[in-house]
Structure 1
Amino acid sequence: MPQTPYDQQPLLHPEPSSIASAEPNQSTDNLQNDLVPPATNDRSIELDTLPETATFGRNLTWTSAYMLTVSRIVGSGIFATPGNIYKSVGSVGLALTVWIFGAAVAACGLAVSMELGCMLPRSGGSKVYLEFMYRRPRFLASTLVAVQAVLLGFTASNCIVFGEYMLVALDMEVTAFSQRTLAVGLVTAITIVHGCFLKTGIWIQNALAWVKIGLMAFMAVLGVVALFLPRTSARDNAEALTFSLLFEGSNWDLLTLSTALFKVTYSFAGYDNVNNVLNEVKNPVRTLKTMAPTALLTVAVFYLMLNIAYVIVVPLEEIKTSGELIAALFFEKILGANVGSTVLPILVAISAAGNVMVGTFAQARVNQEVARQGFLPFAKYLSSSYPFSSPLGGLIVHYIPSVLVIVLPPQRDVYAFILDVEGYAAQFFAMAIGIGTLWLRKSRPDLKRPFKAWRVAVWLRIALSSCMIVAPFIPPKNGKGDVGFWYATYAVVGGGLLVCGVIYWFLWTVLIPHLRGYRLEEEANMLKDGTSVTKLVKVKSQ
């Protein structure tokens, strides 16, 4: 079958799968009133190697995809983490080296994501890749991805950050109720916009991304301007950037450098965000190959410029004691305490809102892909693009756990703990993807790879994920975790969720079918709105 251009690629309709012959009365539920005959579509996993267009079209241009990536990477990290990094590594030169090395690490991870995204140009990101790589044991990869997407795929932390900083900017008292009210209001508004006004939501998140880029550029320019302001000590501070003083006071302890590097890599997280929405990107392979490196390079350059601006404006000793308030000190030194106390909160709030918007946009698509595979209750409703030609079902699946995490935890520390749990579980998927990439090169050399990651990049991704899986179990000096729990609690919880997913998979796909004398098979169907879905049916064992 000849391929049409990616931005015009229709849904593929090969010959029906043999499993479509299962009798309707053997199904766990009756979807036939909402489905057209299975002969019109096939959900074979091999079709993942071909592009698929979302039923609501390809609405993401190169620029929109670029903004989606930049806005996902740039959160509150660059405005909060540099102070702690300077304190731990001791010198300007070593801190800048860690940021540069962190960008290189992110580039290696991006290369792996680009290889898989160009080879399997479908929405869903890691879901698509893991299912394609690990087909045995059957349904295990899909189950674990569903567990991770539904239970941990929320954006609560940035919603909370938005609520807190908006209250500070408005000079209002920061209470738990007001903070959570604004946080719930943000995720509710974003869900409504993305669910009911698809193109408007894309326009808004693009605008927020431009604001982020403008703010970073503004801060970088302020750093240069400070050199010519007589009331600042910028010229004296800039001496720390001279070669003779650049590495003075450096702390070369390996554990310290590793911790600093992990903080930097977290600040670059999100570079693969577009891989989750490739069904909506125009010319997805060509766009991914050029857009993703450009976006990462943009962020890396701005991060380096901001670090230099911080050093020029704020004395090094103050930077080391600033904690998470280095951006606040920066604005206070340049604009004064009154203006700085307003500008910084607005800056962080905008950054957090942009993160929530693009995170919600992408996660909703992942949830929809999980539903299309038949791994969520009410799958036919959650898979559909009805009634607003958008992934409203996926947005609802994202909305519910996000609101619960915002409202239910009794203390602020729990939010950081939940974020750690999410990050820890993600390392298992990252390691599995790295190993699977190498395995596919050996087992499937026939697959077309428009882009191929460097082998060292793949191995580095595997090594870093392995280190981050083991690291939580290394006792810290004080023997306590950051949020008052046992230091490895978040790792036990994150790993425990995946273990629970494995147990659930064994019960519903292996043990119960064996005891009741049936097996689960996949039946391909298409909803009336044109969405292709998989229905899991029970077929009596012979």
Structure 2
Amino acid sequence: MTDTPSKQSFYSEETIRQSLDEDEASLAHSDDEESGAPTETVSPLGYHVDWMSVIFLNVSRTIGIGVFTTPGTILKGVGSVGLSLIYWVVGFLFSAASLAIYLEYLSYYPKRSGADIAYLEKAYPRPRLFVPALYAFTFVLLSISSSSAIVFAEYIFAALGQETSAWNVRGLAVGMCTFVTLVCMANTKWSLRLSNWIGMIKVVTLVFIAILGIIVLNGGISRVENPGSNFRNAFSGTSTNLNGLANALLKIRFAYVGYENAFSVANEVKDPVPTLKKFAPLSLGIVFILYFMANVAYFATVPKEVIMESHELTASLFFEAIFPNREAVVALQVLVALSSLGSVFASTISASRVVRECGRQGLLPYPHIWASTKPFGTPLAAYALRWFISCVVIVLPPPGDAFNFIVDLQYYPTAVWALLLTVGLYRIRVRRQKAHAPSSAFRVWDSVAAFALAVNIGIMILPWVPPEGGIYGGDVSFFYATYCIVGVVIILLAAFLYWVWFSYLPKRGQYRIRQVVDKLSDGAQALRTVRVPLHALAEWDATHDEHGQLILPTPTSPEGYHD
């Protein structure tokens, strides 16, 4: 929303008081770009994120149901056990390189939560708010927990031995999303604790699977015949199909998504740079070891051909091969459901901060509502919006192609933002070098940044490779790359809306868009857009800074000021 300021408001006492806020002025001066949302030097959300929460926000977000399902999909794509294991290593290396990119951004902007939206704002300050606006539009529209909620509901019913229908699954999925949202709304500390506890259960589960795999390899479980046979000719059957290899690489890429989750709450960490510098890589290392050992356990226990031909969870095949009773399968189903629940907790917490940052940048109507943390010290509006969109996607699309398509829509825009973030880091480096800014607390090796850039470019290209079955041979019944095309269209639609709001309407209305800072009683700050008439534009720009705060004359003596 925009307001039209009166001429008198240019010199209001409130504006003058804001301009004299020394902390904000010094912080803005230290930044390489004064544009963008104001930095909240004291987090209005509190400081509940400790080192353990950093670890498990990442671990819980990354380890969803992928580790139970993806190994079989990867094996089908690459054709051999050996190459499948190499893919998991490659996925780890790429994630580590991307994590280093985030750490360098954090070293520049340690007091900014929101991760991508905050970093894109700094990397691409011109045109004003253009890239952040594109990101905000796609994130708010596509960042949902619907698929994890559906998986949770399906596996709870399976564990209970009850028949499912579209509506009872949807009902339980909506109920789960509602429960998570209410807990997160009510108390940040307890939502983090629940996320941590569920994350610990995930880790213990995968450690248990890894130990079972070691026992199998040593011949300790008689039910498993010929253990480890998959490793004798590990590269036998390696596929030469480009699409299968490409799709497997994409699935590996998204299996590691979540390694950057804690960066969304960076301003809620008391000492963010050293804390995330130490524990974010640790969390990724934990995930990689668990992923790799779980794959070794699966391949040690279940014949390769069975994994490739089965439509069941790879983990289900593993448990069925070791345990003869149904109780073990039920236990696995409960663990998969808990894993989905943990992912929803971790993603809901982080996504709420991203939505809040979108609002703080003035990219959503009524920024003060999104920035506010009253009455519970949590971003209620951001949680409510995410809950609403997730529930709509759960309830409205029919099961099957339509639902899968909507879930897949987020993948291609995510790849676009990852590429822009990597390129943006180079832009920031150049600007800081020209400004003779001091060196940061962390700097990515150039070779690592180049590797991340190359992989991100590859991920932009790979989805367009046609599947082996032709253009209708993908995982939906229609054109295989439809989700890529629609993802691009959504970004273009966001660009069109930006042009309408920031260019077309101002030209027709004879005004220009500027921003002012709103400071709320809870300590939150947000940018609000205002419409400045053309006849007052020169005076506004001459007397206000990037944040719309009045530029006071510099005092030369106790008696007066100079121009």
Q: TM-score, normalization: structure 1? A: 0.90
Mapped to 2, the partners of 1:296 and 1:144 lie a distance apart of: 29
Larger Cα Rg: Structure 1 or Structure 2?
Answer: 2
Which residue, 46, 52, 66 being the options, matches 1:63? Answer: 52
Would the alpha carbon gap of residues 40 and 482 (structure 1) be closer, same or farther in structure 2, given more than 3 Å must change? farther
Mapped to 2, the partners of 1:141 and 1:84 lie a distance apart of: 34
Mapped to 1, the partners of 2:320 and 2:224 lie a distance apart of: 13
| Alignment of 1:423 onto 2:406 | no
Map residues 477-488 of structure 1 onto 2, 5 A cutoff.
477-478=468-469, 479-480=471-472, 481-488=474-481
1:281, distance to aligned residue in structure 2 (A):
1.3
Mapped to 2, the partners of 1:510 and 1:137 lie a distance apart of: 11
Equivalent residue, structure 2, for 1:386: 374
| Alignment of 1:298 onto 2:289 | no
Report the 3-state secondary structure (helix = DSSP H, G, I; strand = E; otherwise coil) of the residue aligned with 1:233: coil
Mapped to 1, the partners of 2:38 and 2:259 lie a distance apart of: 22
Q: Which one-letter code corresponds to 1:497 in the other structure?
A: I
Mapped to 2, the partners of 1:274 and 1:246 lie a distance apart of: 36
Mapped to 2, the partners of 1:462 and 1:271 lie a distance apart of: 17
Mapped to 1, the partners of 2:82 and 2:374 lie a distance apart of: 54
Map residues 14-413 of structure 1 onto 2, 5 A cutoff.
22-23=5-6, 38-39=18-19, 46=34, 52-121=41-110, 122-226=112-216, 227-234=218-225, 236-242=226-232, 245-413=233-401
| Alignment of 1:496 onto 2:489 | yes
Mapped to 2, the partners of 1:40 and 1:358 lie a distance apart of: 39
Report the 3-state secondary structure (helix = DSSP H, G, I; strand = E; otherwise coil) of the residue aligned with 1:525: strand
1:259, distance to aligned residue in structure 2 (A):
2.2
Mapped to 1, the partners of 2:182 and 2:20 lie a distance apart of: 33
1:383, distance to aligned residue in structure 2 (A):
1.4
Instruction: Return 266-275 or 446-455, whichever deviates more.
Output: 446-455
1:428, distance to aligned residue in structure 2 (A):
1.2
Give the conservation status (yes or no) of the 8 Å contact 1:83–1:321: no
Equivalent residue, structure 2, for 1:524: 517
Which residue, 447, 455, 461 being the options, matches 1:456? Answer: 447
Q: TM-score, normalization: structure 2? A: 0.86
1:118, distance to aligned residue in structure 2 (A):
2.1
Give the conservation status (yes or no) of the 8 Å contact 1:143–1:501: yes
Report the 3-state secondary structure (helix = DSSP H, G, I; strand = E; otherwise coil) of the residue aligned with 2:373: coil
Q: Which one-letter code corresponds to 1:277 in the other structure?
A: V
Give the conservation status (yes or no) of the 8 Å contact 1:146–1:370: yes
Instruction: Return 469-478 or 365-374, whichever deviates more.
Output: 469-478
Equivalent residue, structure 2, for 1:14: none
Instruction: Return 373-382 or 269-278, whichever deviates more.
Output: 373-382
1:253, distance to aligned residue in structure 2 (A):
4.6
1:389, distance to aligned residue in structure 2 (A):
1.1
| Alignment of 1:535 onto 2:528 | yes
Mapped to 1, the partners of 2:8 and 2:149 lie a distance apart of: 45
1:324, distance to aligned residue in structure 2 (A):
4.6
1:252, distance to aligned residue in structure 2 (A):
4.6
1:84, distance to aligned residue in structure 2 (A):
2.2
Q: Which one-letter code corresponds to 1:64 in the other structure?
A: S
Mapped to 1, the partners of 2:504 and 2:227 lie a distance apart of: 67
Mapped to 2, the partners of 1:143 and 1:84 lie a distance apart of: 35
Mapped to 2, the partners of 1:21 and 1:254 lie a distance apart of: 57
Give the conservation status (yes or no) of the 8 Å contact 2:170–2:394: yes
Give the conservation status (yes or no) of the 8 Å contact 1:118–1:288: no
Give the conservation status (yes or no) of the 8 Å contact 1:153–1:363: yes
Report the 3-state secondary structure (helix = DSSP H, G, I; strand = E; otherwise coil) of the residue aligned with 2:514: strand
Mapped to 2, the partners of 1:410 and 1:75 lie a distance apart of: 23
Report the 3-state secondary structure (helix = DSSP H, G, I; strand = E; otherwise coil) of the residue aligned with 2:345: helix
Mapped to 2, the partners of 1:423 and 1:25 lie a distance apart of: 48
1:325, distance to aligned residue in structure 2 (A):
1.9
Mapped to 2, the partners of 1:376 and 1:24 lie a distance apart of: 26
Q: Which one-letter code corresponds to 2:532 in the other structure?
A: V
Q: Which one-letter code corresponds to 1:109 in the other structure?
A: S
Q: What's the RMSD between the two structures over aligned residues?
A: 2.5
Instruction: Return 149-158 or 251-260, whichever deviates more.
Output: 251-260
Give the conservation status (yes or no) of the 8 Å contact 2:227–2:301: yes
Mapped to 1, the partners of 2:41 and 2:302 lie a distance apart of: 51
1:447, distance to aligned residue in structure 2 (A):
5.2
Report the 3-state secondary structure (helix = DSSP H, G, I; strand = E; otherwise coil) of the residue aligned with 1:330: helix
1:91, distance to aligned residue in structure 2 (A):
2.3
Mapped to 1, the partners of 2:7 and 2:302 lie a distance apart of: 70
Would the alpha carbon gap of residues 24 and 99 (structure 1) be closer, same or farther in structure 2, given more than 3 Å must change? farther
Identity percentage over the alignment?
34
1:51, distance to aligned residue in structure 2 (A):
7.4
Instruction: Return 314-323 or 205-214, whichever deviates more.
Output: 314-323
Mapped to 2, the partners of 1:248 and 1:491 lie a distance apart of: 33
Mapped to 2, the partners of 1:51 and 1:377 lie a distance apart of: 20
Report the 3-state secondary structure (helix = DSSP H, G, I; strand = E; otherwise coil) of the residue aligned with 1:237: coil
Mapped to 2, the partners of 1:233 and 1:291 lie a distance apart of: 38
Give the conservation status (yes or no) of the 8 Å contact 1:48–1:120: no
1:82, distance to aligned residue in structure 2 (A):
0.9
Q: Which one-letter code corresponds to 1:157 in the other structure?
A: S
